[in-house]
């Protein structure tokens, strides 16, 4: 699964190895600080990393990528690893409120040898970050997520949200309070899941 997600990006052996190191780090730290569900610990590469890689494949070239609620680094750390090779000029910012997860994110950046900024804060308490692209995975239902994202999106920015099989009901709910243009991408990890690409976001 990871190999097929990476294939269109044509990354180097070094980048593949870094993603392997990331998987090892998540597996090592997760039992102590709960980075991914215990039931998915054996699927860090095939599920969590592959899911994150596909966001990079969808994204246009941007200057500033902000990942909200990064947790164990999905997608933020994966984006930072890919950007180190493919878009070294792009800045990657991860916002996370949990202290131990922020320690993990900073440690992982250092051990992976890639650039990235970790901001320990609640999303709604931070001054607007003016991102060109906002991502968030497994953070909140879409109506709430759009509020989080809107705060940090620059004019003309876009957002990418991986969503599970109940995405259509979240979408109907979100349409009651938000206007936006939407493109959906079927997930390579799970055909019932999607990545929502949101543009032109405004309050209804």
Ligand X SMILES: C[S@@+](CC[C@H](N)C(=O)[O-])C[C@H]1O[C@@H](n2cnc3c(N)ncnc32)[C@H](O)[C@@H]1O
Is residue 45 at the binding interface for ligand X, with CB under 6 A as the rule? no
**What end-to-end distance do the CA atoms of the chain give, in Å?**
39
Query: Hey, how many other C-beta atoms are within 10 angstroms of the C-beta on 102?
Result: 18
74 marked as part of a ligand binding site: yes
96 marked as part of a ligand binding site: no
Which residue number, 82 or 95, has a Cβ lying nearer to ligand X?
Answer: 95
Residue listed under structure tokens 């180190």: 84
Contact status, residue 155 vs residue 201, Cβ threshold 8 Å = no
Is residue 178 at the binding interface for ligand X, with CB under 6 A as the rule? no
Surface-to-core class of residue 18, CB atoms within 10 Å of its CB (0-12 exposed, 13-18 middle, 19+ buried): buried
Which of 127, 124, 202 minimizes the C-alpha distance to 136?
124
Is residue 116 at the binding interface for ligand X, with CB under 6 A as the rule? no
Among 28, 100, 110, 122, binds ligand X (CB under 6 A): 122
Which residue number, 96 or 197, has a Cβ lying nearer to ligand X?
Answer: 96
Among 33, 103, 138, 154, binds ligand X (CB under 6 A): 138
Positions in the binding site for ligand X (CB under 6 A): 36, 69-72, 74, 95-98, 101, 122-124, 137-139
Report the binding-site residues for S-adenosyl-L-methionine.
69, 74, 123-124, 137
């Amino acid at each position: 699964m990871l190999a097929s997600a990476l294939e269109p990006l044509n990354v180097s052996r070094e980048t593949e190895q870094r993603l392997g190191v990331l998987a090892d780090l998540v597996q090592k730290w997760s039992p102590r600080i709960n980075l991914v569900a215990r039931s998915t610990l054996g699927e860090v590469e095939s599920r969590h990393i592959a899911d994150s890689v596909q966001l990079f494949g969808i994204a246009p070239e941007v200057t500033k990528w902000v990942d909200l609620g990064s947790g164990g680094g999905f997608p933020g750390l994966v984006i930072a690893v890919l950007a180190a090779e493919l878009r070294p000029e792009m800045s990657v910012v991860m916002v996370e409120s949990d202290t131990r997860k922020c320690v993990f994110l900073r440690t992982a950046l250092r051990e992976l040898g890639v650039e990235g900024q970790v901001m320990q804060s609640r999303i709604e308490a931070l001054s607007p970050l003016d991102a060109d692209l906002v991502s968030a995975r497994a953070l909140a239902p879409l109506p709430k997520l759009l509020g989080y994202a809107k705060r940090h999106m620059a004019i003309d920015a876009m957002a990418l949200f991986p969503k599970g099989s109940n995405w259509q009901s979240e979408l109907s709910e979100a349409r009651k309070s938000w206007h936006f243009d939407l493109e959906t991408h079927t997930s390579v990890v799970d055909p019932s899941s999607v990545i929502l690409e949101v543009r032109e976001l405004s309050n209804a």
